[in-house]
């Protein structure tokens, strides 16, 4: 089955050990298509994903009082699809870690834009998941769609497999 035919099944795999050590890794796998690895969900944050035109777009977000380990101001989302040989566009070398949320004592948004952060925690904003998914759809639509599409919300004829998932909080 090719990526364009798959429906990105949910695969919550739980915590895994890094390098055989006792410490659990920083994220949980959420979904996977045959040609793309499942992205890791950052702890103390979450991830919002949609599929548009055979490409998976994911936006990592950090909880309040957490910030990204790398600057993300020019990276509204990461993607995996045929245009980049089914590899994630990530600042981390190879693989599926899209972001890491680290504790921050700053009250302002340093590494990302205001829209890259939850106002509280991912879990406490779960009731706003549709709003976050629709914001990602509008960002992707503006950045990659060649023909204008009037749909302001993620609807089945253009936007598929929306997903909102929270990482563990520490």
Q: Is the dihedral of CA 163, 73, 16, 166 positive or negative?
A: negative
CA distance 87 to 84: 6
Domains of the chain by residue range: 3-166
Report how far residue 154's alpha carbon sits from residue 137's, in angstroms, rounded to the nearest whole number. Answer: 6
Flag whether the pTM goes above 0.85.
no
| CB contact at 8 A, 36 and 88 | yes
Summarize pLDDT for 7-65 with one digit per residue, the tens.
333 333 333 323 333 334 444 444 445 588 889 999 999 999 999 988 999 999 999 99
Q: Which residues pair with 97 in a beta bridge?
A: 40
CA dist 110 and 105 (Å) reads 11
47, HSE (Cβ side, Cα atoms, 13 Å): 26
pLDDT digits (tens, 9 = 90+) for 64-89: 999 998 888 888 999 999 999 999 99
């Amino acid at each position: 089955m090719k990526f364009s035919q798959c429906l990105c099944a949910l695969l919550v795999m739980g915590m895994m050990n890094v390098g055989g050590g006792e410490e659990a890794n920083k994220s949980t796998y959420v979904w996977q298509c045959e040609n793309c690895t499942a992205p890791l969900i950052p702890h103390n944050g979450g991830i919002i994903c949609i599929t548009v035109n055979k490409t998976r777009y994911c936006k990592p977000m950090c909880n309040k009082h957490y910030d990204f380990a790398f600057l993300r101001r020019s990276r509204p989302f990461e993607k995996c699809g045929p245009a980049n040989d089914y590899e994630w566009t990530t600042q981390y070398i190879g693989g599926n870690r899209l972001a890491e949320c680290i504790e921050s004592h700053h009250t302002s948004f340093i590494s990302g834009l205001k829209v890259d952060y939850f106002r509280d925690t991912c879990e406490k904003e779960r009731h706003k998941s549709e709003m976050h998914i629709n914001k990602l759809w509008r960002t992707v639509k503006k950045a990659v769609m060649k023909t204008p599409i009037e749909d302001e919300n993620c609807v089945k004829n253009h936007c598929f497999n929306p997903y909102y998932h929270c990482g563990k909080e520490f």
